[in-house]
A and B are shown apart, each in its own frame.
Chain A
Amino acid sequence: MKGRLRKYRNAMMLGIFLLFTLLALVPLFGVLGYVVKNGISALNFDFFTSLPKPMGVSGGGMANAIVGTLILIGIAGLLGIPTGILAAIYLTEYDRVSWLSTAVRFTTDVLTGIPSIIIGIVVYTALVVKAGNFSAFAGGVALAIIMVPLVIRSTEEMLKLVPQTIREAGYALGIPRWRTILRIVLPTAAKGILTGAMLAVARAAGETAPLLFTALGNQYWSHSLNEPIAALPLQIYQYATSPYKDWHSQAWAGSLVLILLVVILSFIARLAFRSRKNF
Chain B
Amino acid sequence: MGQSLTIRNLDAWYGDNQTLKGINMEISANQVTAIIGPSGCGKSTFVRCINRMHDTLPGARATGEILLDGESIYAKDPVELRRTVGMVFQKPNPFPAMSIYDNVVAGLKLNGIRNREKLRTAAEKSLRMAALWEEVNQRLNYSGMSLSGGQQQRLCIARALAVEPSVLLMDEPASALDPIATLRIEELILELKKDYTIVIVTHNMQQAARIADSTAFFLNGELIEHGPTSEIFMNPKDKRTEDYITGRFG
Direct contact of A and B (CB under 8 A): yes
- A residues with a Cβ closer than 8 A to B are 163, 165-166, 168-176, 179-180, 183-184, 187-188, 190, 277-279
CB atoms of A173 and B160 under 8 A apart: yes
Q: Is B154 an interface residue (CB 8 A)?
A: no
Interface of chain B residues 75 through 92 with chain A (CB within 8 A)? 79-84, 86-87, 89, 91
Say which size band chain B's interface belongs to.
20 to 34
Taking CB atoms, residues of chain A closer than 8 Å to B81 are: 174
Q: Is B204 an interface residue (CB 8 A)?
A: no
Q: Which of A168, A176, A279 contacts B89 (CB 8 A)?
A: A168
Given the interface contacts A173-B82, A174-B81, A174-B82, does A188 sit within 8 Å of B97 by beta carbon?
yes
Taking CB atoms, residues of chain A closer than 8 Å to B143 are: 278
CB atoms of A166 and B159 under 8 A apart: no
Interface of chain B residues 140 through 155 with chain A (CB within 8 A)? 143, 145
- B residues with a Cβ closer than 8 A to A are 51, 53, 56, 79-84, 86-87, 89, 91, 93-98, 106-107, 110-111, 143, 145, 156, 159-160, 163
7 closest Cβ contacts across the A-B interface? A174-B83, A173-B107, A278-B96, A187-B97, A172-B87, A174-B82, A165-B93
Q: Which of B86, B91, B160 contacts A165 (CB 8 A)?
A: B91
**How far does the Cβ of A100 sit from chain B's closest Cβ, in whole Å?**
14
CB atoms of B83 and A184 under 8 A apart: no
Taking CB atoms, residues of chain B closer than 8 Å to A166 are: 93, 95-96
Residue of B whose beta carbon sits closest to that of A179: B110
**How far does the Cβ of A69 sit from chain B's closest Cβ, in whole Å?**
32
CB atoms of B110 and A169 under 8 A apart: no
CB atoms of A174 and B95 under 8 A apart: no
CB atoms of B95 and A175 under 8 A apart: no
CB atoms of B93 and A278 under 8 A apart: no
